[in-house]
Structure 1
Amino acid sequence: MGFRSTFIGRSDMAEAEAQQTDAKQLLSAAASSTIEAYHQMEMPMVRYVGLVIVPSILFFFISLVVVFSVDLPFLVALPVPLLGALALTTAVIYPKLLRDRRRKQIEDRLHLFITHMTVLSTANMDRVQVFRILSEEAEYKELALEMQRIVQLVDTWNQSLDDALQIRAKKVPSKPLSDFFDRLAYTIGSGGEIQDFLLSEQDVVIQNYVTIYEGSLRNLEVMKDLYLSMILSVTFALVFATVLPILTGTNPTMTVGAVVVMFAFVQMGFLFMIQTTAPYDPVWYHPEEKGRTDSERKVRISVIVGIVLTVIAIVICLLVLLGRTSVDPSSIPLPIFAALPTTPLVLPGLVVRREEGKVKERDDEFTNFIRALGASETAKQSTTSRVLKTLRTKDFGALSDDIDDLYKRLSMRIESELAWRHFTADARSYLIQKFSEMYLIGRQMGGEPKHLGELISGNMNEVMQLREQREQSTMTLIGVLYGITAASTFAFFIGLEIVNILSGMSIGLNTPQFNFGTLIHTGVYNNIMIEYLLVIIILLNSVLSSLMIRIVDGGHKVNAYMHFVLLTWVSGVVAWITRIVVGTFLNV
């Protein structure tokens, strides 16, 4: 027995030591990564420390001095040093955040970039010219900048292409891109064909993209759980700030206002973290030529109508509040009053939701279309317009009308590039735009249509499967946000109603022998002001939660309007019912 207990004790110690070792390794890796980010900044490190870090340290110390020198309630004083600590922490880790943002921009677009490079490599052009073309693609952002740096090393510094790739492989913040540059440099240096290498790399690149995409979705699940815990904690703090002053006599308006500010900081922090965590995979394509498609016109008209109706509703509500109408303002609960003007914004949200469904249907059909187009062009050895004459009679669902319009434009001898540009603008799909552009460039450069169609179709199918997982994660997040919104609102207004009831009780309990005001400080409360602050936090939560949903689902920005309206109404109805139910039970 003694031996067993000794063995268990040693195993626990070994496990604890292993955990400490892992923690030290994580801290060491984070520190080394931050130092490396400082060295890779465009601004010299000494200048950054003097202009950013030193002022943030001074601000942090000033916040500490304010807390200890000014007599403030605890809930008001707490956010002050937290704000100073936040400023200092942000200043210290900003270079790493900037480097991580560059890494994310690279890894989010790497699969499209490699596919684009593969399509270009099938054409008869110089290898460096492939890099020049990719460097002009502004959509690739950091990847386009890397291509520019490689071209500069070749043109300006007379470096060979393989040497330039090896130089940049040591400096890029993304390991997958660094490994890709190393392998490509070795292939070029050994005399291999870039086309063969890129074709063999397709599976590797797609698997890396799948791994990164699924990792981002798992991180979103962790963020969701962390967000749930933090919002529940802030909700408890707000209820505490609402009820506690009745016993302490502190100013409740100030304490509730301080927690509202804290709530805003927490939600904006999570909004930023979700934005940096969510994979970059937009659904919509927004061409530079605005307003030329039916869907764009519908969205614009719905947004204008929704905003105009919202302004009219706000004016009407203000007139009611000011007593300029025959409606009694007290007959409408304040949370419902706040939700009413937002209602017209659901109109553009519904329109965009319907149009987005069509865009997703076109994405589903495009893989079949591009594969059929490439195979038919190769089999018939004919032009795209002649092949489309047959394909336009096939059923491609929501994409059929766009294919028919593409055929008509090509038949009218409109320039093929312009005709395809109109096709992608009508489709409004980000993926269709990128892959159609790749197919068009590959055909113009002499690539084999069948091979191009199969390559593009296979890669797009992988992306579509990942989008299904993302949609599931989005639905889970929507459920969590709506649930936590209802629960938080319920807790907020329970506290407010308890304060209202205690205020009425204290008035009835006062006697000549004893004044209950010495125990229950109801005189410090301005219940109307506190209710207004709670309504502000409801609106703030609705705005930031709707933005979170929009970021995660990757859809149109106007999608956030509908969730904003629904979240506001959920909060308003829950607040109204809570006050009625709690008031009924506690007044019995």
Structure 2
Amino acid sequence: MKGAGFILAGAIMLPIAILGRMDDKRISKRDEAFTTFIRSLGVIKSGAGVSVAEALSRIDQKNLGELKDLVLQLYRRLSMDLDPRLCWEKFVGESGSYLIQKLTSIFIDATDLGGDADTVGEVVSSSNLEMVLLRLKRDLISSGFVSLIIPLHMAMVGLLLFITQILTIFTQYISMLYATQLSGIGSMSNVVDKLPGGLQGLNIGIFGSVPTELLSQYTLFIILSLTLANTIAANVVKGGGKYMYIYYACILFIISGVLMVVVPQVVEWAFSLPSLVEMEG
């Protein structure tokens, strides 16, 4: 049931995770296209001496990439003589990019204060290109770490479940052994006295005092902590919007849930003792 709960939590987050991942890729492509867009806009506006709306109509749309639809909407709003600042704010909001938000405000403020659009566009374009390249470098380095988190998470959760299930199984078997085989012999001290000399020092009840219920709760808490910690670590290293937490959480919750369902059953099957199983039946 606990594993099914983890899988259900991951399944609930799955649609948001998919949409968030797709949107994150689109924003990255918009940031890359913004370099060409803002440079072309500055050159046309300054060289031809036209308004921003007219300059937008002269930009080659083939080079706009993911910004093509947003630039078209911006052109339509400016052509209807709407407030230019509100039009640019709408453009920035629809892009969803923090980088575009910061650099667009620099371009607008500089040109409104009388700056040369060509020079301003070149400076903004260079700044955007530098930050995009730094982001690509970061993605290249962080991809290895994020790719390593998933197998490490599987290994840690699987090992934890393996140990917990081993202790649970042997606790059950020892308890069953006490109830069936040793009850007719006498007290535990008499049993130990009747063992061979080399075995009298063996603590047969080593598994008998294991609190399996508390151990199960502790295991659940550790798995949940590992899942949340790895989710935060992946997004901090990789970067991106806050919705990317849901993307990584979805993956790790589903993996944890599947392991919680599969590993105990596999361990129970692998370490089942036929004689004791028949005895229990």
TM-score, reference length from structure 1: 0.41
Equivalence for 2:248: 563
Tell me by how many angstroms 1:490 deviates: 1.7
Once residues 357 and 348 of structure 1 are traced to their aligned partners in structure 2, the CA distance between those partners, rounded to angstroms, is 14
The 3 A distance-change label for structure 1 pair 343 and 372 is same
Match of 1:429 among 74, 90, 97: 97
Q: Which residue of 1 aligns with 2:149?
A: 481
Q: Which has the larger radius of gyration?
A: 2
Give 2:234's aligned amino acid.
I
SS in 2 for 1:555: coil
Q: Which residue of 2 aligns with 1:410?
A: 78
Aligned with 1:553 (options 234, 238, 241): 238
Give matches, 1:77-96, under 5 Å.
none
SS of 2:191's partner is coil
Match of 1:586 in 2: 271
Specify the alignment match of 1:359 in structure 2: 27
- Measured in 2, the distance between the counterparts of 1:385 and 1:562 equals 38
Matching of residues 322-361 of structure 1 within 5 Å: 332=1, 334-361=2-29
Partner Cα distance (2:266, 2:239) in 1: 39
Q: Distance in 2 between matches of 1:477 and 1:393?
A: 37
Q: Are positions 1:388 and 2:56 aligned together? A: yes
- Which residue number corresponds to residue 572 of structure 1? 257
| Correspondence for 2:196 | none
Instruction: Provide the identity percentage.
Output: 22
Would the alpha carbon gap of residues 402 and 462 (structure 1) be closer, same or farther in structure 2, given more than 3 Å must change? same
Tell me which amino acid in the other structure corresponds to 2:237: V
Please tell me whether the aligned partners of residues 338 and 572 of structure 1 are also in contact (alpha carbons under 8 angstroms): yes
Report deviation, 1:518: 5.1
| 2:67 pairs with 1:399 | yes
Helix, strand or coil for the counterpart of 2:81? coil
Work out whether residues 335 and 535 of structure 1, in 8 Å CA contact, stay in contact via their aligned partners in 2.
no
1:458–1:395: structure 2 CA closer, same or farther, 3 Å change rule?
Answer: closer
Q: Distance in 1 between matches of 2:171 and 2:62?
A: 73
Structure 1 SS opposite 2:114: coil
Letter in 2 for 1:576: V
Q: Return the letter of the residue paired with 1:465.
A: L
Cα distance in 1 for partners of 2:88, 2:49 equals 20
What is the one-letter code of the residue matched to 1:355? Answer: D
Equivalents in 1 of 2:168, 2:101: separation in Å?
Answer: 59
- Mapped partners of 2:6, 2:209: distance in 1: 26
Match of 1:514 in 2: 191
TM-aligned CA distance change 1:423 to 1:492, over 3 Å:
same
Match of 1:42 in 2: none
Q: Structure 1 447/531 Cα, relative in aligned 2: closer, same or farther at 3 Å? A: same
Query: In the alignment, is the contact (CA less than 8 A) between 1:392 and 1:407 conserved in 2?
Result: no
State the shift of 1:393 in Å: 4.5
Distance 1:538 1:363, change over 3 A: same
> After superposition, where does 1:198-347 map in structure 2 within 5 Å?
332=1, 334-347=2-15
3-state SS of paired residue (1:587): coil
Q: What residue in structure 2 maps to residue 9 of structure 1?
A: none
The CA deviation at 1:578 is: 2.5
Change (3 A) 1:568 1:393: closer
Q: Is the 8 A contact 1:392 1:400 kept in 2?
A: no
Is there any run of 5+ residues in structure 2 with no aligned partner, and where? 193-199, 274-281
Compute the displacement of 1:397 (Å).
1.6
Letter in 2 for 1:508: L
Q: Are residue 419 (structure 1) and residue 113 (structure 2) matched?
A: no
Contact 2:146 2:238 in 1 (8 A): no
- Letter paired with 2:14: V
Answer whether contact 2:42 2:120 (CA < 8 A) is retained: yes
How far the C-alpha of 1:437 sits from its partner, in A, is 0.7
Q: CA RMSD in A?
A: 2.2
Stretches of structure 1 that go unaligned for 5 or more consecutive residues are 1-331
Looking at structure 2, the residues matched to 579 and 496 of structure 1 have their Cα atoms a distance apart, in angstroms, of 9
Which segments of structure 1 move beyond 4 Å, counting only runs of 4 or more?
Answer: 392-395, 515-518
- Map 1:8-27; keep pairs closer than 5 Å: none
